[in-house]
A and B are shown apart, each in its own frame.
Chain A
């Protein structure tokens, strides 16, 4: 494979940053979760790239990535359930309006 490892790492860093931007700047709570997904995907790219480039005989990289999958799924499920529950109460999904725990 002629792709240097650094390309994968920079790509994942960029994807992570974009996802971070989305988390920090989107109003809609669901959009925030979308950003989180991007960040998780960036992590996964990193893991798999390292697995492939360092020691493909070790399965730890892939296993880790699979666990990340499972966690991401669980987190999305619970997160969306929470958003729906909050929406029912407060009639809003805009994160800035859910600010009861404030001064």
Chain B
């Protein structure tokens, strides 16, 4: 067991535990905070995977924006929504069963693929992942179009969210 593996396992345990808490806890604020914890764990995972940019983006965007957005939304609707009664629907067991089956199926499929147990090769020397990522995002031969479209999507979402949530006076 290499140190990296131990780190990975700890990280995985954190992620999964935090995720479970997200989906089961009564208090929504707690759920949002547990989500933050899970996202942190994912960021660590990115770092292990040599995707350092993504780790940072994860923290900044996911935690810093999205999770915060969640917390704002929860807090704004909290008064009228005293967490009363159980937070899970009546047929949560069916959902659990199905989720379990999905997990089992996916795990089985993924694990039985040939060559899935390989370990990662070393990163190529002199690979500037960040530079290449930047170039890929804006290079016409690469992914500038999806990038721009994603921008417009964000614009649309922004405008839409503002419009939908604006109170009509």
Interface, chain A (partner B; CB < 8 A): 1-11, 13-22, 24-28, 30-31, 33-35, 37-38, 41, 44-45, 48-49, 51-53, 56-57, 59-60, 62-63, 65-67, 69-78, 80-85, 87-88, 91, 93, 96
Q: Contact at A74–B132, with CB atoms within 8 Å?
A: no
Residues of B within 8 A of A10 (CB): 107, 110-111
Residues of A within 8 A of B69 (CB): 76-77, 80
Interface residues on B, range: 35 or more
Q: Contact at B107–A2, with CB atoms within 8 Å?
A: no
Closest to B163 in A: A81
Residues of A within 8 A of B98 (CB): 20, 24
As a 0/1 sequence over residues 82 to 114 of chain B, the CB contacts with chain A under 8 angstroms (1 = contact) are: 000011110110111011101100110011000
Given contacts A52-B51, A83-B77, 15 further A-B contacts (CB under 8 A): A2-B2, A5-B120, A11-B45, A15-B38, A19-B23, A27-B87, A31-B31, A48-B49, A51-B49, A57-B132, A62-B51, A65-B54, A66-B133, A93-B77, A96-B89
What is the minimal beta-carbon distance from A46 to any residue of chain B, in angstroms? 9
Q: Contact at A9–B116, with CB atoms within 8 Å?
A: yes
Cα distance A4–B15 in the bound complex, in angstroms: 18
Residues of B within 8 A of A8 (CB): 45, 49
Q: Contact at B53–A62, with CB atoms within 8 Å?
A: yes
Q: Contact at B57–A19, with CB atoms within 8 Å?
A: no
Q: Contact at A41–B39, with CB atoms within 8 Å?
A: yes
Q: Contact at B119–A4, with CB atoms within 8 Å?
A: yes
Residue among B66, B137, B150, B167 making CB contact with A88, cutoff 8 Å: B167
Q: Contact at A3–B88, with CB atoms within 8 Å?
A: no
What is the minimal beta-carbon distance from B129 to any residue of chain A, in angstroms? 7
Q: Contact at B62–A69, with CB atoms within 8 Å?
A: yes
